[in-house]
Amino acid sequence: MGLIESRILADHVYEAIKLMIQDGALKPGAKINKKELESLLGVSQTPINGALSRLAGQRYIEQRKRRGYYVRVYSCKELVDLFAARGAVESMATRLAVETATDAEVEQLTLFFSDVQFPLSDEAYRAYEKTDREFHSALIRYSGNTMIQQMNEEFGYIVRAATKGLIRPPEETIGEHRAIIAAIRERDAKLAAQLMTEHHLRSRNVLVENCQD
């Protein structure tokens, strides 16, 4: 196999394992079985070792001395720091989205949460979780900033890996979401960005009060 082919294979294996972590096929705290990966991906241990080393460097996984690789478990401190960082990043993304999004894109944002009614059934609660993720992802996408999009990908993975469901109940966040959307619709970039910062910092404060490793 030539050098180019080896690099292509290594990238493929890396992306495959990373996706397994992000999708939850490899769960936080789980030991990574190299033999199973060899069989599943149909490759030798060489590209797997390279991929695991690369993922460890990016802190998706951790290597424990004489025990192998494990999917990382995120601490409360890391989650608290994450939501502070998300507040800063998404605040900028929101400001950029207000300034650059097309009228059609802004109109698309106004449709999020428009049909939410309380009390929520179990099914409606799960739908709210999905809408929450899609709303924040849409804002990131409409910012047009590739660096912010890359950071959001990692942030989203950590949140999914380290939390179960929403940090705060829909009854508490629905008003915040709708206020952000209203500011975006008015093309008030400063207000929309401020509301987004406050939205994430409130979640951070809940973690500060309640999170236990």
Q: Where are the alpha helices (DSSP H) in 42-121?
A: 45-57, 76-100, 103-110
Distances in whole angstroms, Cα of residue 23 to Cα of each of 16, 149, 157, 159? 11, 18, 8, 12
The pairing of beta strand 68-71 with beta strand 61-64: antiparallel
The listed range with the strongest mean pLDDT (147-151, 154-158, 195-199) is: 195-199
Q: Residues 96, 79: contact at Cβ < 8 Å?
A: no
pLDDT, one tens digit per residue, over 34-72 is 999 999 999 999 999 999 999 998 888 999 988 999 998
Q: Counting every residue, how long is the chain?
A: 213
Contacts of 70 (CB under 8 A, 6+ apart): 29, 30, 31, 32, 61, 62, 63, 64
Residue 158 confidence (pLDDT) = 74
The CATH H-level (homologous superfamily) assignment of domain 76-210 is GntR ligand-binding domain-like (1.20.120.530)
pTM: 0.76
- Res. 213: pLDDT tops 60: no
Residue 183 confidence (pLDDT) = 98
**152 pLDDT tier (thresholds 50, 70, 90):** confident
Residue 25: both structure tokens together? 């096929």
CATH 1.20.120.530-classified regions of the chain: 76-210
More confident residue, 18 or 179: 179
Helix or strand holding residue 70 (H, E) = strand 68-71
Mean pLDDT over 73-83 rounds to 86
Q: What is the mean pLDDT of the chain?
A: 90
CATH 1.10.10.10-classified regions of the chain: 3-71
pLDDT, one tens digit per residue, over 11-38 is 999 999 988 887 778 888 899 999 999 9
CATH architecture of 3-71: Orthogonal Bundle (1.10)
